[in-house]
């Protein structure tokens, strides 16, 4: 095992960026990806996650994954953003292949989701993540999301994994601020990031230092400003932004992510093409709610608020 040379500064807002496809969904739209990353940089985010689950990673074949990560890393670095590659799998061997490829393509870190469906034991999770982190010298971020992986990491498992020199952070999407507080207390020096936009400010209040965000696809300036205010101790400002973003953050989960966020981007004139099956486009009811929220917040994406067609 070769260890990473130093720990990344993973504070602030990191956008779990969507993957834009062509209108028929047959290919990745790399021009749209460049525009999306430029918009994130202009909005002040610290980094992006490329080919995460918000980026519909389960629908990408190996060649698409490689080309997407290569392009995303290059575009992010050109704008001074950290480039984190989604590299999780419910097969440890496959996750190691993605981890190694992300390292070769120049990603700054990887985000590795809990194995889904298999439901490994805690010992299995420790062995899984340890094998991944041992495989090459790239910082690894754990992604604890029990609601979408049929199982979660316990506090003791996180504490054990946090001691690995290549495991540098956790995206905490367990939806439990008490658990976040316990994690921060039990793992001093270990970076904790919110994985639930509506809970970012409460989680930062108990020790998290930022977020891997869905809502920042839509409102990067506000999501990054919330983190900056919280990190700087500007509590009233952070609370005001939290309240401003609260309804939109919750709306990102009116249907399964990333259905609503892609619907919201379309309304902003930032169409990201087709959803790939088994994901389907946002329903008219979801689009109506999103339109109302976008209008009330005076968000700006493209030239005008698009009409759904």
Q: Give 3-state DSSP helix, strand, coil % of the chain, rounded to 5.
A: 50, 15, 40
Longest CA span, the chain = 53
**CB neighbour list of residue 89: distance below 8 Å, 6 or more residues apart:** 95, 98, 115
Report yes or no on 200 lying in a domain: yes
The per-residue pLDDT for 190 is 96
Give the orientation angle of helix 155-162 with respect to helix 177-186, to 10 degrees.
40
Range of the domain at 108: 12-234
pLDDT, average across residues 171-181? 97
Report yes or no on 292 lying in a domain: no
Residue 22 and residue 32: Cα distance in Å, rounded? 9
Report yes or no on 296 lying in a domain: no
Both tokens of residue 41?
């940089």
Report yes or no on 73 lying in a domain: yes
The per-residue pLDDT for 299 is 76
Report yes or no on 307 lying in a domain: no
Question: Is 171 labeled as catalytic in the residue annotation?
Answer: yes
Report yes or no on 253 lying in a domain: no
Residue 34 and residue 68: Cα distance in Å, rounded? 11
Report yes or no on 89 lying in a domain: yes
User: Domain count of the chain?
Assistant: 1
Residue 60 and residue 51: Cα distance in Å, rounded? 9
**Tens-place pLDDT, residues 193-211:** 999 999 999 999 999 999 9
Report yes or no on 271 lying in a domain: no
**Range from 68-77, 145-154, 224-233 carrying the lowest mean pLDDT:** 145-154
- The DSSP string of 180-196 is HHHHHHHSTT-EEEES-
pLDDT, average across residues 6-23? 93
CATH number, domain with residue 34? 3.20.20.70
Catalytic one of 171, 262, 266, 289:
171
Catalytic one of 65, 74, 117, 143:
143
Q: What are phi and psi of 185, to 5 degrees?
A: -70, -35
**CB neighbour list of residue 164: distance below 8 Å, 6 or more residues apart:** 129, 130, 133, 140
């Amino acid at each position: 095992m070769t260890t990473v040379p130093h720990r990344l500064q993973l504070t602030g807002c990191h956008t779990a960026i969507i993957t834009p496809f062509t209108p028929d969904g047959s290919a990745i739209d790399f021009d749209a990806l460049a525009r999306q990353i430029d918009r994130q940089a202009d909005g002040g985010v610290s980094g992006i996650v490329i080919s995460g689950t918000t980026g519909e990673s389960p629908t990408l074949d190996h060649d698409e994954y490689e080309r997407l990560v290569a392009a995303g890393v290059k575009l992010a670095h050109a704008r001074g953003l950290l480039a984190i590659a989604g590299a999780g799998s419910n097969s440890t061997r496959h996750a190691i292949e993605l981890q190694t490829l992300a390292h070769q393509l120049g990603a700054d870190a990887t985000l590795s989701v809990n194995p889904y469906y298999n439901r490994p034991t805690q010992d299995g999770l420790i062995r899984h993540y340890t094998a991944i982190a041992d495989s090459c010298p790239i910082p690894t971020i754990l992604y604890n999301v029990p609601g979408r992986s049929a199982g979660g990491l316990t506090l003791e498992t996180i504490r054990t994994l946090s001691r690995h020199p290549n495991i540098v952070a956790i995206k905490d999407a367990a939806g439990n601020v008490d658990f976040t507080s316990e994690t921060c207390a039990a793992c001093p020096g270990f970076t904790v990031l919110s994985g639930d936009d509506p809970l970012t400010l409460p989680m930062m209040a108990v020790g998290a230092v930022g977020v891997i965000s869905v809502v920042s696809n839509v409102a990067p300036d506000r999501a990054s400003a919330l983190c900056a205010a919280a990190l700087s101790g500007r509590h009233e400002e952070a609370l005001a932004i939290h309240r401003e973003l609260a309804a939109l953050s919750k709306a990102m989960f009116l249907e399964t992510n990333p259905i609503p966020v892609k619907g919201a981007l379309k309304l902003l004139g930032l169409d990201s093409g087709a959803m790939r099956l088994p994901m389907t486009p946002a329903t008219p009811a979801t689009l109506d709610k999103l339109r109302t929220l976008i209008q009330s917040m005076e968000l700006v994406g493209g030239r005008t608020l698009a009409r759904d067609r």
